[in-house]
Structure 1
Amino acid sequence: MKRWGIVGLLALAACAPESSTRASAQGQVCPGIVAGGMSGAMEARQGLDDQQPSRMDADGREAVIIRFRQQGRTQAAHVTASGASFTASTGANVSAVYRSIPAVAARVTPTERYVLERSELVESIEADQIWSAQGLTPGPFARLARQAQAVTPVPADEYTEGLRLVGAPEVWDSNGDGVLDPGAPTGEGVKVCVIDSGLDMGHPEFQGAVVASHDFLDKDDDANDQDGRGQWGQGHGTHVAGIIAARMGQGGATGPRNTPGGMVGVAPNASLLIARVLDLQGQTQMSVVLSAMEWCDDQGARIVSLSLGGGTATRSTVEAFQALRNHGVLVVAAAGNQGGPVLYPASDPSVLAVGAVDANERRASFSNAGTELALVAPGVDVLSTFPRGLGAFAQMSVDDTSPLSRSLLYSPTGDTSGRLVDCGLGDSLDACLEATCDGFVAYVRPGAVPVDLAMANVMKQGASAVVFGSDDGPAGGAVNIFSLPRSGHWAPAVSVNQAASTMLRQRLGADARLSLAPVDYTHVSGTSMAAPYVSGVAALLWSARPELTPQQVRDALEASARDLGLPGRDPVFGHGLVRAQHALQRLP
């Protein structure tokens, strides 16, 4: 497959000489400008959950799960085989045959569904729901980790903020020298199955980590985060997998000079099983996840990490998750990012639901809550691996100051300079005061319109780079979480925190310089990032005690969590923040 390059490269045509005058206050734009998304506003919007693909094919077929009746102790696999044969005889397109539940996935026409619903073999027909990734949004700036030369021990600054928050280094690097302690639990011998968008298989952090992979969309064993044409996805699975098992001392590019470095996962010697189920937009169907779960079981997984969700429980899903638990597999799932009730499948009784907290152990505003919530883990501004070159390291200078800045996800890279111009809310084509078509750096106060629309507005007025400010709020002055659409024509863009915003507003009109360099890591937020921390800690426990049952591991994780919020278990934090060393001490 082809090596992926930065998407959404800046494609601004050069302005004619006479365009150096100010853009019209009536909303006229600079000539020759190409800005914005390539196929309309809906495609340009960030956020996975707002894009719900239809379950109906162009030929009128609907995606469904067909359950068959079981008689007495008849094995599900035998019932399913008979039912699959009957389903195919109706003309339905069978896409998956399950062995743990008496069901198949199929695409049916209304006529075929009518025939199936009236068969004595068929117990019920369930909708094949759409499930989505639960987090892929860039977080505030944080200095990327560095790595020493290969001949020296790995320094402790590979240990990310989230890694330290869950106490993983205390388990396998008790003296903090950057070297794994001999005999310490590291995840060695434990297989963690990541059901997600696939992986950048060539990323340095995963060399030697992946023991098996399968692409359930393209139906092959190449689980790179790509479609069949080589188009890369959103990097969600790469970020999740790095939190679990990024290797010690195997860093990629992290800084403006493309120097080596990186981070280390919670269980740095765990084995990864990679199941690609999410498409390029971060979505999948329930039937595909069920197939991936059976594959994980076949491969000997002890843990399944699910940073996706949506829909509601069905009899088939409840039985499928229960079957995994009965086979000795712990399923860990993200609670969801809507700020509402815990999403399915995290809310399933056989699944451990994980919410998100920030570095100060405060609940993330987006993190779902409810009685099903078991634990919380770092999920705000989490540094982890990303497809090579997709992340961007940002540096900014204004006069003699260098405010902390964070590249917008999918921003083009490069060096840009110009006057810092106030563009207000970026909500119109006359928002930029003193704009010129010679190019300038736009300062935008976000929130009035979507980020992509604000970007297009100020670019059309001549902006060659964009800085998004931030208001002080409950996040404690953190940088706002923004992303650009992956397709379209965009200028380099960064966001800054509240302190930097105040300073920049005092320096409007000054010369500003932005430098964005491609790197192999990024900070993103979501309960998708919290779930793999718990998956990694579970791997440490099984590494120490392979004979444990999923319930014993879960009991140790919950009993040892740091109690947050109201005393005891509560719907906001569950049992509390997962803690690796304390969980080991609670093992029976």
Structure 2
Amino acid sequence: MKRRYRIWAATSAVVALLVAAAALGRPALEENAPAPPRLKPFDAEVAPTHPTVVALDSLSAGEQLKQQLNKHPRIREILHNRRGDRSHYFANEIVVRFRALPSESRLQQMEAAIAGQLIKQVDHVFVFRSRGQTYEEMRRYFRSLPMVDYCEPHYIYMQNEWNKPALIPNDSFYARYQWNLPAIHTEDGWTLSRGKQTVPVAIIDSGVDLTHPDLIRRLGPGYNVLADDRSPNDENGHGTHVAGIIASQPNNDEGVAGITWFNPIMAVKALNADGYGTSIDVAKGIRWAVDHGAKVINLSLGNYQPSSVLEEAIRYADAHDVVLVAASGNDSTSQPSFPAAYPEVISVGAVNPDLSYALYSNYGDYVDVVAPGTNIASTFAGHRYAALSGTSMAAPHVTALAALIRSVNPRLSNDEVRDIILESADDLGERGKDPYYGYGLINVYRALELAKR
């Protein structure tokens, strides 16, 4: 993948990935940061309500989760700047990559040396937990071993949620609630492609409601990384919401309409019921999706600390011609977030219904494009529907567009798909690429026109 974009700083492998899926609160703008363009905020008080479309304050929920992590005795934090942007990792765990797999006897020696045990393994990457040693103490030990390639914290990742003639679907909530699809010219785009079953989309998240009536016919093979089984049922709701933006069945007289009509969803559960997961689990989920045929992967999660184990998984997917899309983050900061800041990933910021920059959305050189992110109606766990806000909601719009592009022209490489998405975007803000809108708001119709050429 061409390295044209600045990489966001992110923590090492062991930090748990805090997926900003449901709610990152509105923090103060970064000190001395330039004033963002078109600052009129979305007025939540006039947001539409409906007895079966629940408006959830996902941003506040995300902020509460961060506060809980800050106070947890077994969680440590990394302070990235004076503004207070933080990443988190487990104090008594470590991620270690070996040059060659250790023998069982050697592994037992290591466990004895750290007074702990092996808790997870993905290929040559091992996660150890100690009963009495800190990460720093374990790092000193493992760094002394010649067979160790690298070691890093076990990072935590959080959701990035901030609570022909054009074809208009008949879904019951479409006309009243789904401002987001017309805003990116989806209806016109459907005249060129509505997707194909041969282009599966993987969602690395909290899983999916496996019996939701608006999703059940769109589900392909899935995987629960946390339980190491095939049942990625969603206990949080974030993954189900992301999945609905991409694939809630359109034109079925029910609920909401997703952007794709036929592409199967591969639900990969790497985030727990509280909405966060670890770098090793997210990396394992990415590799599983690649090995099982995913053509596009959505990552509505992030952390401010880069992780080697996560970056290796990103490069693995990129080398296998998979399009990678990630949310930029919901802290209104220019601090780079990972995996969005990796050059192989399309980084997505958020806009409001009036197409103004969403104040919660992270900004900076690593932002490639923006998509609707405020008050997005979609499916939710428990056979429900909910309106959420955040870059977690913006990213799946781009993921779905990538799936439509690969459906209309399967010969395109992942680099070519990325170039088309950026080239076809509607320029907003300052002329050309800027820190708030990137190259602009995605345009489904224009992108599919370019892809057909």
On whether the aligned pair clears a TM of 0.5, the verdict is yes
State how 1:169-568 maps to structure 2 within 5 Å: 169-172=187-190, 174=191, 184-226=193-235, 233=236, 235-250=237-252, 261-341=254-334, 342-388=336-382, 520-568=384-432
Contact 2:426 2:443 in 1 (8 A): yes
Q: How many residues align?
A: 364
1:67 paired residue among 74, 83, 97: 97
Contact 2:401 2:444 in 1 (8 A): yes
In structure 2, the partner of 1:97 is: 121
Q: Distance between the aligned counterparts of 2:171 and 2:345, measured in 1?
A: 37
**CA RMSD in angstroms, aligned pairs only:** 2.7
In structure 2, the partner of 1:106 is: 128
1:198 Cα deviation from its structure 2 partner: 1.0
Q: Distance between the aligned counterparts of 2:105 and 2:249, measured in 1?
A: 46
1:574 Cα deviation from its structure 2 partner: 0.4
1:156 Cα deviation from its structure 2 partner: 6.7
Is the aligned partner of 1:162 residue 2:180?
yes
1:553 Cα deviation from its structure 2 partner: 0.2
Q: Distance between the aligned counterparts of 2:103 and 2:413, measured in 1?
A: 33
Contact 2:194 2:261 in 1 (8 A): no
In structure 2, the partner of 1:50 is: 67
- Aligned AA for 1:363? Y
1:248 Cα deviation from its structure 2 partner: 2.0
CA gap 1:86/1:545 in 2 versus in 1, 3 angstroms: farther
Q: Distance between the aligned counterparts of 1:568 and 1:105, measured in 2?
A: 44
Contact 1:158 1:263 in 2 (8 A): no
Q: Residues 293-335 of structure 1, C-alpha deviation per residue, up to 9 Å, x if partnerless? A: 1111111111110111113113333232112101111110000
The structure with more helix, counted as a fraction of residues: 2
Contact 1:375 1:573 in 2 (8 A): yes
Contact 1:192 1:303 in 2 (8 A): yes
- Aligned AA for 1:267? T
Contact 2:371 2:397 in 1 (8 A): yes
Unaligned runs of 5+ in 1: 1-42, 70-78, 138-144, 149-154, 175-180, 227-232, 252-260, 390-519
- Aligned AA for 2:149? E
Unaligned runs of 5+ in 2: 1-59, 76-89, 164-168
Instruction: Give the 3-state SS of the residue equivalent to 1:129 in structure 2.
Output: strand
CA gap 1:146/1:85 in 2 versus in 1, 3 angstroms: farther
Q: Residues 223-246 of structure 1, C-alpha deviation per residue, up to 9 Å, x if partnerless? A: 1113xxxxxx2x111110000011
State how 1:109-124 maps to structure 2 within 5 Å: 110=133, 114-124=140-150
- Aligned AA for 2:125? A
Contact 2:174 2:257 in 1 (8 A): no
Q: Distance between the aligned counterparts of 1:568 and 1:45, measured in 2?
A: 32
1:51 Cα deviation from its structure 2 partner: 3.1
Aligned-residue sequence identity (percent) comes to 31
Is the aligned partner of 1:126 residue 2:152?
yes
In structure 1, the partner of 2:42 is: none
CA gap 1:247/1:315 in 2 versus in 1, 3 angstroms: same
- Aligned AA for 2:399? S
In structure 1, the partner of 2:11 is: none
Q: Relative contact order, CA 8 A, sep 6+: which one is greater?
A: 2
Q: Residues 218-267 of structure 1, C-alpha deviation per residue, up to 9 Å, x if partnerless? A: 332211113xxxxxx2x11111000001112446xxxxxxxxx2111111
1:112 Cα deviation from its structure 2 partner: 5.8
Q: Distance between the aligned counterparts of 1:124 and 1:108, measured in 2?
A: 18
Q: Distance between the aligned counterparts of 1:250 and 1:543, measured in 2?
A: 21
1:583 Cα deviation from its structure 2 partner: 0.8
- Aligned AA for 2:405? L
Contact 2:283 2:309 in 1 (8 A): no
Contact 2:189 2:446 in 1 (8 A): no
1:44 Cα deviation from its structure 2 partner: 8.5
**In terms of mean alpha carbon deviation, does 344-353 or 332-341 score higher?**
344-353
Q: What TM-score do you get using the length of structure 1 for normalisation?
A: 0.58
Q: Distance between the aligned counterparts of 1:193 and 1:282, measured in 2?
A: 18
In structure 2, the partner of 1:574 is: 438
Contact 2:370 2:437 in 1 (8 A): yes
1:376 Cα deviation from its structure 2 partner: 0.2
Contact 2:177 2:377 in 1 (8 A): no
Q: Distance between the aligned counterparts of 1:61 and 1:363, measured in 2?
A: 37
Q: Distance between the aligned counterparts of 2:223 and 2:204, measured in 1?
A: 10
In structure 2, the partner of 1:441 is: none
1:85 Cα deviation from its structure 2 partner: 7.5
Q: Residues 68-99 of structure 1, C-alpha deviation per residue, up to 9 Å, x if partnerless? A: 34xxxxxxxxx3x3488744542253344334
Instruction: Give the 3-state SS of the residue equivalent to 2:306 in structure 1.
Output: coil
Contact 1:166 1:578 in 2 (8 A): yes
Q: Distance between the aligned counterparts of 1:303 and 1:158, measured in 2?
A: 29
Q: What TM-score do you get using the length of structure 2 for normalisation?
A: 0.74
Contact 1:55 1:62 in 2 (8 A): no
In structure 1, the partner of 2:44 is: none
Q: Distance between the aligned counterparts of 1:316 and 1:83, measured in 2?
A: 21
Q: Residues 91-133 of structure 1, C-alpha deviation per residue, up to 9 Å, x if partnerless? A: 253344334xx53233245376554232110132100111101
CA gap 1:87/1:568 in 2 versus in 1, 3 angstroms: farther
Contact 2:303 2:339 in 1 (8 A): yes
CA gap 1:44/1:543 in 2 versus in 1, 3 angstroms: closer
Q: Distance between the aligned counterparts of 1:89 and 1:158, measured in 2?
A: 63
Instruction: Give the 3-state SS of the residue equivalent to 1:365 in structure 2.
Output: coil
Instruction: Give the 3-state SS of the residue equivalent to 1:304 in structure 2.
Output: strand
